[in-house]
Structure 1
């Protein structure tokens, strides 16, 4: 089966992060079994989702990991003009949820399997598929925990997120946080007797914005990124019951997208210190039961692979380009790198189409990805 045929099958599985990915994983397991390639499934605690890891070639040698996530973002509320979980084609574009992000890459990897099996390889090729990347790079962590225990570490991991097949060596890290503000309710006619959780939450959000402005200072810039500085933003807020009740509770979620050289926890700690030193005392002056609580929702590290590294040299050879880039969005690459596996990001399609209605990848991009993987195969033949 070629890449387009495999993509058609993969798109047909609704692997939105809130759903199970097991149908897709079991399809891949059976597909690999057809070529006598065994694989391991690493399940979540509920056994409703699984990572997959398979190896082809001499296991005692350091090899190359071809890695992709199987989950996709929701289509709810988006104005699709085609069926999102059926592959359709128009003007050389292949439409469907996940075609760009990132089932197109997975399809190309699977299409390479027959050639990998038939070749005599001097190093192994590993196929790694994960779950729940879109909700915080959650699933891949258990897969990496397994790999870290093995005596031979891979030489390179290629994360196939859509980069239009341009080699990417860096991306920002992310820390997502929640802040719960608990005040004291009362009738709005006596507002000074209450502790308005929404107003104090708004003060914290304002301070977060000021911290964000500090991060824009030129001395914090890294020109390789767009934008060239770490960013913060509040994305969700809720609170209050009625206009005539001083609200007792307010909750907001915020995120820090940090340059690889910067620690996003410092932003969270700065906001928490402001809350404890400047805001909470004023709240407790009215009600001693007032509270501000911070909790982590998700986090993953940034990626900063050295342009002079062997990993960079390899991906340049496979892509035919040394024009290394960076991306603002995150990937599982930072986690692979933290596990001691040098990592680059390179895959078909563009994130300009990812997460949007009528998502697509072009046939030309799939063909180019197939060619890149063939060049990789040629370079590792015995």
Structure 2
């Protein structure tokens, strides 16, 4: 079977055009949504004769799924990347210029994760132009809302669960430096509220200071709960963690604070269920209440739940992607990650997934975000190679 050549000039052009389209998630400052990028993806696919479907997720925000058929019937291979970015506030470069300097293309989303999206689009377009028969069908899904609530991939997962779409595996685009991330953490985020008794600050003994009571809760989380995480060390992603990421409390400088709230960001490892983790916090804090006089608290329902993910290193997708990457980038390995991705939602509906793409996660969300153009070219080349030689049943 032949080989498909990826044109660096096309990679550069497509990535510059994607970066030039603002797609800040509406949850963030200046958020305009992904509609402009979705229109671009539809146009790009249409220009290359690749049929696509549009999944409306919420008003003005849709997933776009391009589809190339394979020689043999059966589940397709999925390439998935998100279209949204974080805010551009505080950037030290023009976030939409797509300037190329010393082989680096700069702009918001260049690394996270329009580089991956460009690689996927150019790879399938090159395959289409080549006319080579594909052993497996391939879908490219450009989805919304990865940076906030994962509604885009959740809609895609629902279509998989219902049988509308069927996949034998998924490559999820994120900046991994062309390494293969086969496990990552999940998270559960929730509030803990402490309820005090307000009063005049000149007589603090006549009230119950919610901030001081919360200090006991914070101490307990650090000294009693956090040390237990070492018992759950995972070989690829490490131990669970929690972070107290926000705190609010009090009403005025001269008032005993009657309330205090903290936000908990608890990162889970493969094998943990987020709701069970949250329930564990509730149970342990009930024990604390019995030991701290006057402590009244509420552990609120989670406002964000995401899942950890793990795919076997011996899965055919992992092995075949490793083989495909070898020809374009040396020294790449299987890794775990502390962050979360769309891959976990696909894994929950039985689609084995690998996170893979150009760029360094350390460049994501930065004030001068960039990605190596050559790495995007290598990613596209490896994806084309993977698709051309993919076998659902292994090597």
Change (3 A) 1:257 1:282: closer
- How far does residue 277 in structure 1 lie from its aligned partner after superposition? 4.1
2:226·2:242 contact (CA, 8 Å) conserved in 1? no
CA distance in 2, matches of 1:61, 1:116: 19
**Of the candidates 90, 114, 117, which is equivalent to residue 125 of structure 2?**
114
- Would you say 1:10 and 2:48 are equivalent positions? no
- How far does residue 366 in structure 1 lie from its aligned partner after superposition? 1.3
- How far does residue 136 in structure 1 lie from its aligned partner after superposition? 3.6
- Would you say 1:222 and 2:230 are equivalent positions? no
TM-score computed with the length of structure 2 as normaliser: 0.87
**Which residue of the partner structure matches residue 52 of structure 1?**
64
CA distance in 1, matches of 2:284, 2:268: 20
**Which residue of the partner structure matches residue 316 of structure 2?**
310
Which region of structure 1 is more displaced relative to structure 2, 264-273 or 236-245? 264-273
2:145·2:152 contact (CA, 8 Å) conserved in 1? yes
For the residue of structure 2 that corresponds to 1:312, the secondary structure is: helix
- Would you say 1:351 and 2:357 are equivalent positions? no
CA distance in 1, matches of 2:160, 2:83: 19
**Which residue of the partner structure matches residue 101 of structure 2?**
90
**Which residue of the partner structure matches residue 305 of structure 2?**
299
**Of the candidates 259, 275, 281, which is equivalent to residue 249 of structure 1?**
259
1:177·1:295 contact (CA, 8 Å) conserved in 2? yes
- How far does residue 280 in structure 1 lie from its aligned partner after superposition? 7.9
CA distance in 2, matches of 1:154, 1:195: 57
Which region of structure 1 is more displaced relative to structure 2, 333-342 or 200-209? 200-209
1:207·1:271 contact (CA, 8 Å) conserved in 2? no
CA distance in 1, matches of 2:267, 2:390: 37
**Which residue of the partner structure matches residue 150 of structure 2?**
137
CA distance in 2, matches of 1:262, 1:220: 9
- How far does residue 179 in structure 1 lie from its aligned partner after superposition? 2.2
For the residue of structure 2 that corresponds to 1:370, the secondary structure is: helix
CA distance in 2, matches of 1:160, 1:146: 20
- Deviation per CA, 1:242-298, whole angstroms, max 9, x where unpaired? 121011222221111122133344443232224334338967x59xxx652412121
TM-score computed with the length of structure 1 as normaliser: 0.89
RMSD across aligned C-alpha pairs, in angstroms?
A: 2.4
- Deviation per CA, 1:117-166, whole angstroms, max 9, x where unpaired? 23322311111122121124232101110122226631110011111111
- How far does residue 184 in structure 1 lie from its aligned partner after superposition? 2.4
**Which residue of the partner structure matches residue 6 of structure 2?**
none
Change (3 A) 1:13 1:206: farther
For the residue of structure 1 that corresponds to 2:359, the secondary structure is: coil
**Which residue of the partner structure matches residue 180 of structure 2?**
167
Give runs of aligned pairs for residues 64-103 of structure 1, distance below 5 A.
64-76=77-89, 78=90, 80-103=91-114
Change (3 A) 1:89 1:115: closer
**Of the candidates 224, 239, 245, which is equivalent to residue 235 of structure 1?**
245
Change (3 A) 1:374 1:194: same
- How far does residue 354 in structure 1 lie from its aligned partner after superposition? 0.9
- Would you say 1:206 and 2:219 are equivalent positions? yes
CA distance in 1, matches of 2:226, 2:318: 34
2:81·2:172 contact (CA, 8 Å) conserved in 1? yes
CA distance in 2, matches of 1:201, 1:31: 54
For the residue of structure 2 that corresponds to 1:42, the secondary structure is: strand
Structure 2: gaps spanning 5 or more residues: 1-8
For the residue of structure 2 that corresponds to 1:209, the secondary structure is: helix
**Of the candidates 279, 282, 289, which is equivalent to residue 279 of structure 1?**
289
- Would you say 1:270 and 2:291 are equivalent positions? no
